[in-house]
A = this chain, B = another copy of it.
Amino acid sequence: MYLFETHTRVRYAETDQMGYVYYGNYATYYEVARVEAFRALGFPYRDLEAQGIMMPVLEMHTRYHQPARYDDLLTLKLSIKTRPSVRIVFDYEILNEAQSLLNTGQTTLVFVQKDKNKILRCPEALLQKLAPYFVSES
């Protein structure tokens, strides 16, 4: 299993008049977690797109346990629980500074060759970066 953790602070723009983070904005927090995880792995998502590979999202599930609020410094926990193949599945937990669990989610993404609009297997370079975290499976 691969685990990663990063932080982001709730912006005023992300709140709504309930005084909570708008429910659609958690998808952006998941994106921040994915992008920083890939950067930490030495596999920046920006470089992947520069090589003509996109990662559209196929599916998302979200559970809102407690509302995130303006100016909360959020902890974004990401995990990859199974070795990616054609799909890559990310799980998320979002906590506030008091370590209360606010939100859990899961996204499934695929790898697409942009010019041909064709689904690819997970790039070998990424599999190699992730290999140390999945030794017990092989």
Contact between A23 and B63 (Cβ–Cβ < 8 Å)?
A: no
Contact between A15 and B13 (Cβ–Cβ < 8 Å)?
A: no
User: Which residue of chain B is the closest to A31 with respect to CB atoms?
Assistant: B12
Q: Does A46 lie at the interface of the complex (its beta carbon under 8 Å from any beta carbon of B)? A: yes
Specify which of B49, B64, B70, B71 is in contact with A57 (CB 8 Å cutoff): B64
User: Which residue of chain B is the closest to A110 with respect to CB atoms?
Assistant: B64
Please judge, given known A-B contacts A13-B16, A16-B16, whether A64 and B70 are in contact too, CB under 8 Å.
Answer: no
Please judge, given known A-B contacts A22-B12, A27-B23, whether A17 and B61 are in contact too, CB under 8 Å.
Answer: no
Q: Which 3 A-B pairs have the closest CB atoms?
A: A24-B27, A15-B17, A46-B71
Question: What are 16 A-B interface contacts by the 8 Å CB criterion?
Answer: A12-B16, A13-B24, A13-B27, A13-B31, A16-B16, A17-B18, A17-B49, A18-B54, A22-B27, A24-B24, A27-B27, A46-B71, A58-B63, A58-B64, A60-B61, A61-B62
Kindly list 16 other residue pairs between chains A and B, CB separation below 8 angstroms, not including A16-B16, A24-B24. Answer: A11-B28, A12-B16, A12-B17, A15-B16, A17-B17, A17-B49, A17-B70, A22-B27, A24-B27, A24-B28, A24-B31, A56-B64, A56-B67, A59-B61, A59-B64, A60-B62
